Amino acid sequence: MEKFSHVDNQGRANMVDVGGKKLQRRRAIARGTVSLSAEAINLIRENQIKKGDVLTVAQIAGIQAAKQTANLIPLCHPLLIDKINVTLQLTEQGVEAESDVRCVGKTGVEMEALTAVSIALLTVYDMCKAVDKNMEIGKIKLLEKVKEDVE
């Protein structure tokens, strides 16, 4: 059986020691959606949601969330992130969020990318909940994870 790096010899949770790993250029892209009613979509399009500009607020929330990932997920390492790009797009079904997170480090940024998308979509949900009681967040997934040696 393969040894898991996130548990110690007694099977208890353990933060992985990345001290011996070399620095690499890391990148992760994640995407997710929230389905919305036609009314909510129209109100977002017309910037008429009472809480404000949904897409901009959700974008900022996603960026902030990526920076806080190590505080939210117990075994994640704090990272010095080089770039966080969160985009939200209004679709016929609702809102699609995508994040692109980059750093040079000893561990990847996939959790930061997934956290950015999750919180951006939760922010859309929060801002639209007075208008749409049937929203559904889903299809959150990692699209790409890249690591390459730093020269």
- Give the active site residues: 126
SS (H, E, C) the chain: CCCCCCECCCCCECCCCCCCCCCEEEEEEEEEEEECCHHHHHHHHCCCCCCCCHHHHHHHHHHHHHHCHHHHCCCCCCCCEEEEEEEEEECCCEEEEEEEEEEEECCCCHHHHHHHHHHHHHHHHHHHCCCCCCCEEEEEEEEEEEEEECC
Sheet of 81-90, strand order? 81-90, 94-105, 24-35, 136-149
The answer to whether the beta carbons of residues 122 and 32 sit under 8 Å apart is no
